[in-house]
Amino acid sequence: QVQLVESGGGVVQPGRSLRLSCAASGFTFSNYVMHWVRQAPGKGLEWVAVMWFEGTNKDYADSVKGRFTISRDNSENTVFLQMNSLRAEDTAVYYCARESVSRAYFYGLDVWGQGTTVTVSS
């Protein structure tokens, strides 16, 4: 079945780095744009980053720009989020999600993983 499974979360000190992975299965990964979305404890959803099919285009929320890098390996059906210079405010559950992209329509993020928890604390 269609599935996204995140991994790589954990507890990390401020200023350190962490790399999240999201493994996709059950669909043609290279046909979808992939996102990372996070949710701090007790807070709402925050969009983090997006990457297009072949990795030629990517974009980030202002809150993570210059610190986080999204990448993907279509041969491994995996999207990554490299998080550097982590701050306490990056503490959140991180979800990956897919989007079927069209210039004419917004199909939304229709499949989400279960999330991986990142805690930034000394």
Partner 1 sequence: EIVLTQSPATLSLSPGERATLSCRTSQSVSSFLGWYQQKPGQVPRLLIFDASTRVTGIPARFSGSGSGTDFTLTISSLEPEDFAVYYCQQRSNWQYTFGQGTKLEIK
Which residues of this chain interact with partner 1, rule CB under 8 A? 35, 37, 44-47, 50, 57, 59, 61-62, 95, 105-110, 112-115
Closer to partner 1 by Cβ: residue 89 or 106: 106
Closer to partner 1 by Cβ: residue 44 or 122: 44
Least spacing, CB of residue 109 vs partner 1, in Å: 6
Least spacing, CB of residue 100 vs partner 1, in Å: 9
Q: Are strands 92-101 and 106-112 parallel, antiparallel or unpaired?
A: antiparallel
Number of alpha helices (DSSP H) and beta strands (DSSP E) in the chain: 0, 11
Closer to partner 1 by Cβ: residue 76 or 106: 106
DSSP state of 32: S
SS3 90: helix
Cβ–Cβ < 8 Å for 46, 40: yes
